[in-house]
């Protein structure tokens, strides 16, 4: 078992996210993956690398979710503005885009429901 972990250490390096610190020469951290080490060393190194990676990926997931919510809110507000009688020109002006761009982006919902 110990030998299998030591042999797999070098192949694991290519699948791990990059280190965010300059500790690649430290045998207890990133530098261990290039050499034969025990299972615990590999596990410790992987845990440290994935902790930073998970944090960054979590932030990407959160930001993407926020964008989707904002897009839904924007669509809802544009639909309400159209129902209230606002023109595509005024909606486009509010969004900083042309009337045509506003209608192309948001008019699909209006066309399918009308």
- DSSP reduced 3-state for 18: coil
Residue 78, number of CB atoms within 10 A of its CB: 21
* Residues whose CB is less than 8 angstroms from the CB of residue 35 and which lie 6 or more positions away in sequence, other chains included: 9, 27
**What are the backbone angles phi and psi of residue 9, rounded to the nearest 5°?**
-55, -45
**Looking at residues 100-109, what average pLDDT do you find?**
91
Domain extents for the chain?
2-62
Model pTM greater than 0.85?
Answer: no
pLDDT tens digits, 37-90: 577 788 777 777 777 778 888 888 889 999 999 999 999 999 999 999 999 999
33 CB burial (10 A radius; 0-12, 13-18, 19+): buried
Rounded Cα distance, 88 and 99, in Å: 5
């Amino acid at each position: 078992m110990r030998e299998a972990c030591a042999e797999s250490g070098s192949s694991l390096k290519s699948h791990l996210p990059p280190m965010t610190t300059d500790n690649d020469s430290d045998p207890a951290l990133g530098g261990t993956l290039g050499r034969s080490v025990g299972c615990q060393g590999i596990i410790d190194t992987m845990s440290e690398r994935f902790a930073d990676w998970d944090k960054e990926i979590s932030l990407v997931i959160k930001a993407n979710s926020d964008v989707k919510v904002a897009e839904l809110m924007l669509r809802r507000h544009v639909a309400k503005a159209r129902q209230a009688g606002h023109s595509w020109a005024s909606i486009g002006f509010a969004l900083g885009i042309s009337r045509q761009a506003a209608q192309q982006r948001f008019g699909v919902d209006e066309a399918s429901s009308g």
